[in-house]
Amino acid sequence: MRDGFHADYEIWSKGAAGPVTAIDLAVDAMLKERLRTARPDFAWLSEETADNADRLSKRRVFVVDPIDGTRAFIKKKPDFVTAIAIVEDGRPVVGVIYNPITQELYEAIDGGGATLNGAAIAVSTASEVEGSRMIGPEDVFGNPRWPTPWPPMDIIHKNAVAYRLALVASGAHDATVALGWKSEWDIAAATVIVREAGGRISDPWDGEITFNNPDPRAPGVIASGPRLHPSLIERVKIAPHPSRFPERPA
């Protein structure tokens, strides 16, 4: 990925699902070979591998996004990551997120805490939406259809959902709001990292996100520290479920 970041490579379109590069496919193939050789009894779910319903009968599943943030990768912006999770009985129990350009390595295991480059991390203690360090598209928060306008916030945006969630887990930012369908491979690794960093992660109606579903998507994701999370849910719970709208990229 580091070599490809500074070189030319082949790019294809997956239609509504966006672009894919030769680097995405190479990383996917490498991870699949290494991980499944080590754990042949684990199933496999990845953005760049054709889905196989056999995974639904497996207790443990690797859930992988070889490059979350392919658009950023193509634009030579270092806002992309590799995300790897082990999901057990529908619940993520191991998560790893790695940015190969900034060399940020986020790791967590169920009950073992979360780390960034080996040092323990924790979510922020922010409790107020106003003035919070938010990650998400500015136009979402500025949409006039919100019944209560969002207060002033320090907003940045990152294309990769997994990276946004990891930055919340580390306390570098207070929260992220990602509405609409999100793929399980964008969320699974970050779910255990946020959870082990002391944070709250849910769908926009404060429901638990489960994994290894027949349709591997969640209807949005909200993550923050526990003091801020209820206020975010109170604001976003009026958002319509994405199943009410025509299909869009996951």
pLDDT digits (tens, 9 = 90+) for 222-242: 999 999 999 999 999 999 999
Distant-in-sequence, close-in-space partners of 77: CB < 8 Å, separation ≥ 6:
159
Confidence of residue 174 (pLDDT cuts 50, 70, 90): very high
Higher model confidence: residue 140 or residue 17? 140
Confidence of residue 246 (pLDDT cuts 50, 70, 90): low
Average pLDDT over the chain reads 94
Of 105, 58, 104, 66, the C-alpha closest to 83 is 66
Domain chopping of the chain, boundaries = 2-120, 133-244
Please report the pLDDT score of residue 6 as a whole number. Answer: 86
The one-letter code for the residue type at 117 is N
Please report the pLDDT score of residue 245 as a whole number. Answer: 73
Please report the pLDDT score of residue 115 as a whole number. Answer: 98
pLDDT digits (tens, 9 = 90+) for 85-136: 999 999 999 999 999 999 999 999 999 999 999 999 999 999 999 999 999 9
Q: Is 90 left (phi over 0), alpha (psi -120 to 50) or beta?
A: left
Sheet architecture: strand order including 217-224: 154-156, 133-135, 175-183, 217-224, 200-202
Q: According to the CATH classification, is domain 133-244 in 3.40.190.80?
A: yes
pLDDT digits (tens, 9 = 90+) for 32-77: 999 999 999 999 999 999 999 999 999 999 999 999 999 999 999 9
pTM, two decimals, is 0.94
Of 112, 214, 126, 104, the C-alpha closest to 173 is 126
Confidence of residue 139 (pLDDT cuts 50, 70, 90): very high
Cβ-contact 219, 242 below 8 angstroms: yes
Distant-in-sequence, close-in-space partners of 227: CB < 8 Å, separation ≥ 6:
125, 126, 127
Please report the pLDDT score of residue 249 as a whole number. Answer: 42
Sheet architecture: strand order including 114-116: 43-46, 60-68, 81-88, 91-99, 104-109, 114-116, 119-120
Select 2-120's CATH number: 1.10.510.10, 3.30.460.10, 3.30.540.10, 3.40.50.150: 3.30.540.10
Q: Count of CB atoms within 10 A of residue 17's CB?
A: 13
Nearest-angstrom CA–CA distance, 167 and 28: 23
